[in-house]
Chain A
Amino acid sequence: MAQNPRARSEAKSQTQIALEQFRRHRVAMIGAGILVVMYTLTAFAGFIAPYGINEYRTRPAAAFRPPTQIHWTDPDTGRLTRPFVYDVTAERDPVTFQRVYVEDTSVRYPIKFFVKRPEASYRILGLFESDRHLFGVDDPARIFLWGTNNLGKDVFSRVLYGGQVSLTIGLLAVWVSLALGLLFGGLAGFYGGWVDELVMRIVEVLSAIPGLFLLVVLASLLQDPRNPLAQAFGLEMNSAQTFLMIVVVLGLVGWGGLARTIRSLVLSIREMDYAQAAKALGASERRVLAKHLLPATASYVIVDLTLAIPGFILTETGLSFIGLGPSEVDTASWGLLLRDATARGISIQFVPWLLIPGIPIFLAVLSWNLVGDGLRDAFDPRKRR
């Protein structure tokens, strides 16, 4: 059946109207802007980060270094100069038993740009490999913009790399949820009757079980290298798989609500005239479902999904908090970095820079929420201005 060209231009203009509305929503646009910046930065994490994701030194150790002080003026003349840093030596504070670092002002290490560091080579977007970094300093000095953790890993670099995990976890988990939600919600709404009854029962059963319980048990289960999923696909568990497993766990736990939304939308829309008309015209049920009902629910679903992403990001931090997120071993996620902070309890006061990973989490969750709200308003004809 050929598409009616007018109908298509209608649909297009609907999307255009929504986009226009969204552009007018200033707060949502700010959110979208922040997200674009964050996703871009993390995509180029390897280049921007001066150090590798798990790079640290044992001799001399660089544990718990505060953010490196960058000097802009020449200490002798007091005039502006090329920015440089000093190397530091460690001492122990007699009161807090913590390491304190004292600058060794004998040698200046100017900040260099586009430096080569073969120890920290990387791939951008999985495509081209390089070992050039945006900035860096010569050995043995180090430049830690946001300090280091207890092993001496650079927090700045790890936040960038961690973003790759945390920002994509939400996006991917949402697809898992979407697939399940569309399948079950669509089926339930469209067929109604016992199918509906069964699907809604399953959703109800899922929502009745404490989410935390499901998360914890599934996460610990999937960590097993011999878990059924890993065996089915012949996977060797490594960081990437652990990451995928967490995505699957989040998606599995989160699809119920989405299915419910889709079901009720389908239910109300299938009674509408055009679905009935299509049916009357002899379109098969599957066709009606795919061509008419699902697109009609798209706007609601997009909003729901957008608002689900920040939820997944937060859930990952929660999982990490109880020690079931991605592991320290060879990956980093914001949740894991935040755990570096929360695990220290009150003694975080000695190393406050470890709280920095909280900021990107906050910004990402906030921005996704703002974008989601903006989209909702944009799709809502009553909120047009």
Chain B
Amino acid sequence: MKRLAVPLAVTLMFSFTLAQTFTWPNAWSANTPEEAVTGGTLRSYSLSDPRTFNPFVSAEQNDVVDAANLTTLITQGPDSDAFLPYMAESFTVSDDGLVVTLNVREGMRWSDGEDITAADFFFTYTAETDEAVGSNGYDSWFINGQPIVGELVDEYTLRFTFPEPDRTALPVMAISPAPDHILGEIYREGGAEALKAAWGTDSDVSETVWATPFVPVSFTPGQRIVFERNPYFAEWNEDEAGNGLPYLDRYTVTIVESVDAALNLYLAGELDSFAPPTVDALGVINQAIVNGELDATLLPNQSPVASSQFITFNWNKASDPFKESLFRDARFRQAMSHLVDREAIIDLVYGGSAAPMWSNVYQVYDYWVDPDVPKFPYDPERAVELLEELGFTELYDNGVRANADGDAISFTLATNAGNTQREEIAIIFADAARAVGVEVDVQAVDFNLLVDQLLSTGDDRPFDAILIGLQGGNRVYPFGPNVIPCDTNLHMYNQSGACLDDLEQTAEDLYFEGRATLDTEAARDIGYDIQRALAELQAQIYTVSPLAHYSWLSSVRGEHPEGMINAAVGARQLPLTYKVD
């Protein structure tokens, strides 16, 4: 466990002032503690209501519960991928990488004044691993199907034993506590059902208990969540000058139906920050700034977003052997990649604000992205060469290309209806393909139906090709456990249950090898190999990745310093944010 020695050293440095206080590094903010002002309200927005205040029921974006997920035993700073101890005062990993021991920081308190102890973290573990609770975190407690075993050593010590060495194990240790004296009590008395029923949106949110910098005090469905400063948070969180954090008194989240509505509110001065999703929104904001209607900062094109968009072909078409063998041929898929005009997509669909994507790793995880991954850029002539190599030399009068047997290249490309950008990407691809005699019939299909087709299994699946995106994952090992191994459910191109291509097998083998490699650099090298194998395979033809933009009113300070703002870590740390008049 060589790599983890570094964060340990960092810990000691952080905690030298007062053993039990976490000091927020100055390096995480563009401003100094001396500049900071206390008080004030930060007004943010969200596209959906929290569905619950119960961390064990929550399954999607939830502004109350997600806030709690930021106060965890260990954490990653915005400046490094390494894990720092946070609610843990320190942690150690055994030499074989199988046992992690965490020493919980003493003196932390819940928003109701009760002590936060190891029992609170252990309760999170207990509830999440209970099948009957059905928590979203359940799957993370298994490594290749083997459970991670937790142990409450004493009041301030936890130990977790892993079934095998695994890179993705450490992110699991980013456990956020759940109040054992409240939710734990409910669970022990009424079991899983009682726990699930607790802290619903019908309960009074001000009576829920948190360890977070701000605690929710009111929630009006469809309108607003109001958080207020948690006085107990300041007891164990301070800036480098020793001031208790957070600086702000209040934090509000306004619920909006659409990003357009959020933009309107931001322009009206009703919100303090906004993430412009498109170049158009950027333009509107910039114009308002230049005209003096809005006093704000605008940071365009900070990084690609943490998601991918790709075309995937179906390798399981027993009912159509011609298409099946075509789709299984890497040269065909490489030819198709040569027909994806990424420049035109960036220009026309994203107004210039996107980056071409060549690898399965989200580009914002730049440490992991192989710069030398094989690329098959827009090149219709090369595509024609490849197709001719495959025997498609005949060109019919109607412009369709076929082989000597008269089999024409013609397939449908489905994408989710209502997603204008994807529809346009599909159209641009189809038009480029048509120009070289490949007939692509673009279909816009309801999202649920699309997923239904994609997740179907067996030898004869109902689609030809699908344009879709994926998001989720982490910076520790950005390869999806359900995506790369051949028998997993998001291995979209091949659902036969076994690898069909040597490169597919290579990628799977490398995936498991990389997971078991604890040394980050070595794992990254394996990651490069995975990306190369997958790029040669071109089973998923990556298109482009839109860029992330940020904007906030000039009165809001304490954002990350320049160069530290990207889609993976965001624009700011909430505790270090403050507002000037």
Q: Which residue of A lies closest to B345 (CB)?
A: A58
Interface residues of A in 85-133 (CB under 8 A from B): 92-93, 95-98
Which one of A59, A225, A344 has the greatest number of beta carbons of chain B within 10 Å? A225
Q: Please, how many angstroms separate the alpha-carbon atoms of A324 and B202 in the complex?
A: 33
Given the contacts A97-B286, A322-B418, A220 and B427 also touching, CB distance less than 8 Å = no
Question: B287: which A residues are within 8 A, CB to CB?
Answer: 95-96
B452 shortest CB reach to chain A, Å:
8
Closest 5 CB pairs of A and B: A323-B418, A345-B260, A347-B280, A327-B444, A96-B283
A residues near B (Cβ < 8 Å) are: 54, 56, 58-59, 61, 63, 92-93, 95-98, 150-152, 220-221, 223-226, 237-238, 322-324, 327-330, 339, 343-347, 349-350
Q: Please, how many angstroms separate the alpha-carbon atoms of A105 and B426 in the complex?
A: 36
Question: A350: which B residues are within 8 A, CB to CB?
Answer: 280, 283-284
Q: Please, how many angstroms separate the alpha-carbon atoms of A345 and B266 in the complex?
A: 13
A322 shortest CB reach to chain B, Å:
7
Q: Please, how many angstroms separate the alpha-carbon atoms of A343 and B283 in the complex?
A: 15
Q: Please, how many angstroms separate the alpha-carbon atoms of A327 and B413 in the complex?
A: 14
Given the contacts A328-B423, A329-B426, A344 and B444 also touching, CB distance less than 8 Å = no
B449 touches A220 (CB 8 A): yes
A76 shortest CB reach to chain B, Å:
35
Question: A56: which B residues are within 8 A, CB to CB?
Answer: 348
A346 touches B286 (CB 8 A): no
Which one of B267, B424, B444 has the greatest number of beta carbons of chain A within 10 Å? B444
A345 touches B264 (CB 8 A): yes
B427 touches A329 (CB 8 A): yes
B30: Cβ under 8 A from any A Cβ = no
B441: Cβ under 8 A from any A Cβ = yes
B417 shortest CB reach to chain A, Å:
6
B347: Cβ under 8 A from any A Cβ = yes
Which one of B280, B284, B351, B449 has the greatest number of beta carbons of chain A within 10 Å? B280
Q: Please, how many angstroms separate the alpha-carbon atoms of A97 and B301 in the complex?
A: 12
A225 touches B428 (CB 8 A): no
Could you list 28 A-B pairs, sorted by A, with CB under 8 Å? A56-B348, A58-B347, A96-B284, A97-B279, A97-B351, A98-B280, A150-B351, A151-B349, A151-B424, A152-B348, A220-B448, A220-B449, A223-B449, A225-B443, A237-B443, A238-B441, A322-B418, A323-B417, A323-B418, A327-B444, A329-B427, A339-B420, A345-B263, A345-B264, A345-B281, A346-B264, A346-B267, A347-B280
Question: A96: which B residues are within 8 A, CB to CB?
Answer: 283-284, 286-287
Q: Please, how many angstroms separate the alpha-carbon atoms of A92 and B259 in the complex?
A: 24
A150 touches B442 (CB 8 A): no
B contact residues, range:
35 or more
Q: Which residue of B lies closest to A347 (CB)?
A: B280
Q: Please, how many angstroms separate the alpha-carbon atoms of A96 and B286 in the complex?
A: 6
Question: A151: which B residues are within 8 A, CB to CB?
Answer: 348-349, 424, 427-428
- The contact of B444 among A58, A221, A328, by CB within 8 Å, is A328
B300: Cβ under 8 A from any A Cβ = yes
Q: Which residue of B lies closest to A62 (CB)?
A: B348
B445 touches A223 (CB 8 A): yes
A328 touches B283 (CB 8 A): no
- The contact of A220 among B420, B446, B462, by CB within 8 Å, is B446
Q: Please, how many angstroms separate the alpha-carbon atoms of A349 and B444 in the complex?
A: 29
Given the contacts A344-B280, A346-B267, A54 and B351 also touching, CB distance less than 8 Å = no
B442 touches A97 (CB 8 A): no
Q: Please, how many angstroms separate the alpha-carbon atoms of A220 and B347 in the complex?
A: 30
A224 touches B445 (CB 8 A): yes
B290: Cβ under 8 A from any A Cβ = yes
A61 touches B348 (CB 8 A): yes
B420 shortest CB reach to chain A, Å:
6
Question: B100: which A residues are within 8 A, CB to CB?
Answer: none
Q: Which residue of B lies closest to A327 (CB)?
A: B444
B283 touches A54 (CB 8 A): no
A192 shortest CB reach to chain B, Å:
42
- Binary contact track B258-298/A, C-beta < 8 Å → 1, others 0: 11100110010000000000111111101100100000000
A98 touches B420 (CB 8 A): no
B222 shortest CB reach to chain A, Å:
17
A58 touches B423 (CB 8 A): no
A343 touches B420 (CB 8 A): yes
A97 touches B290 (CB 8 A): no
A324 touches B348 (CB 8 A): no
- Binary contact track B315-355/A, C-beta < 8 Å → 1, others 0: 00000000000000000000000000100100111011000
A223 touches B462 (CB 8 A): no
Q: Please, how many angstroms separate the alpha-carbon atoms of A97 and B441 in the complex?
A: 34
B418 touches A324 (CB 8 A): yes
Question: A223: which B residues are within 8 A, CB to CB?
Answer: 417, 444-446, 449
A58 touches B446 (CB 8 A): no
Which one of A59, A221, A323 has the greatest number of beta carbons of chain B within 10 Å? A323
Using A96-B284, A96-B286, A328-B424 as known contacts, list a sample of 15 further A-B pairs with CB atoms less than 8 Å apart, ordered by residue number in A. Answer: A58-B348, A61-B347, A96-B283, A97-B282, A97-B283, A97-B286, A97-B351, A97-B352, A220-B449, A238-B441, A323-B417, A345-B263, A346-B264, A347-B280, A347-B283
B444 shortest CB reach to chain A, Å:
4
Q: Please, how many angstroms separate the alpha-carbon atoms of A226 and B420 in the complex?
A: 23
Given the contacts A58-B348, A224-B445, A324 and B280 also touching, CB distance less than 8 Å = no
Question: B259: which A residues are within 8 A, CB to CB?
Answer: 345
Which one of B258, B278, B428, B446 has the greatest number of beta carbons of chain A within 10 Å? B446
Q: Which residue of B lies closest to A226 (CB)?
A: B462
Interface residues of B in 428-449 (CB under 8 A from A): 428, 432, 441-446, 448-449
A150 touches B418 (CB 8 A): no
Q: Please, how many angstroms separate the alpha-carbon atoms of A264 and B426 in the complex?
A: 51
- The contact of A97 among B300, B418, B443, by CB within 8 Å, is B300
- Binary contact track B443-468/A, C-beta < 8 Å → 1, others 0: 11110110000000000001000000
Q: Please, how many angstroms separate the alpha-carbon atoms of A99 and B545 in the complex?
A: 21
Question: B417: which A residues are within 8 A, CB to CB?
Answer: 220, 223, 323-324, 327
Q: Please, how many angstroms separate the alpha-carbon atoms of A339 and B260 in the complex?
A: 13
B549 shortest CB reach to chain A, Å:
10
A329 touches B443 (CB 8 A): yes
- The contact of A329 among B282, B348, B423, B462, by CB within 8 Å, is B423
Q: Please, how many angstroms separate the alpha-carbon atoms of A152 and B260 in the complex?
A: 23
Q: Which residue of A lies closest to B341 (CB)?
A: A58
Q: Please, how many angstroms separate the alpha-carbon atoms of A237 and B463 in the complex?
A: 13
Q: Which residue of B lies closest to A95 (CB)?
A: B290
Q: Please, how many angstroms separate the alpha-carbon atoms of A123 and B420 in the complex?
A: 28
Given the contacts A327-B423, A345-B264, A224 and B347 also touching, CB distance less than 8 Å = no
Q: Please, how many angstroms separate the alpha-carbon atoms of A327 and B420 in the complex?
A: 9
Question: A327: which B residues are within 8 A, CB to CB?
Answer: 417, 423, 444
Q: Which residue of A lies closest to B418 (CB)?
A: A323
Q: Please, how many angstroms separate the alpha-carbon atoms of A224 and B463 in the complex?
A: 11
Q: Which residue of B lies closest to A152 (CB)?
A: B348
Question: B444: which A residues are within 8 A, CB to CB?
Answer: 223, 327-329
Q: Which residue of A lies closest to B353 (CB)?
A: A97
A329 touches B351 (CB 8 A): no
Question: A58: which B residues are within 8 A, CB to CB?
Answer: 341, 344, 347-348, 428, 432
Question: B445: which A residues are within 8 A, CB to CB?
Answer: 223-225
Q: Please, how many angstroms separate the alpha-carbon atoms of A373 and B85 in the complex?
A: 75
Q: Which residue of B lies closest to A348 (CB)?
A: B280
Question: A152: which B residues are within 8 A, CB to CB?
Answer: 348
Question: B349: which A residues are within 8 A, CB to CB?
Answer: 150-151
Q: Which residue of B lies closest to A345 (CB)?
A: B260
Question: B427: which A residues are within 8 A, CB to CB?
Answer: 54, 151, 328-329
Q: Which residue of B lies closest to A151 (CB)?
A: B348
Given the contacts A58-B428, A97-B282, A322-B418, A224 and B446 also touching, CB distance less than 8 Å = yes
Question: B441: which A residues are within 8 A, CB to CB?
Answer: 238
Q: Please, how many angstroms separate the alpha-carbon atoms of A223 and B290 in the complex?
A: 45
Q: Please, how many angstroms separate the alpha-carbon atoms of A323 and B444 in the complex?
A: 10
Interface residues of B in 69-100 (CB under 8 A from A): none
Given the contacts A226-B462, A323-B418, A95 and B286 also touching, CB distance less than 8 Å = yes
Q: Please, how many angstroms separate the alpha-carbon atoms of A322 and B57 in the complex?
A: 29
A381 shortest CB reach to chain B, Å:
49
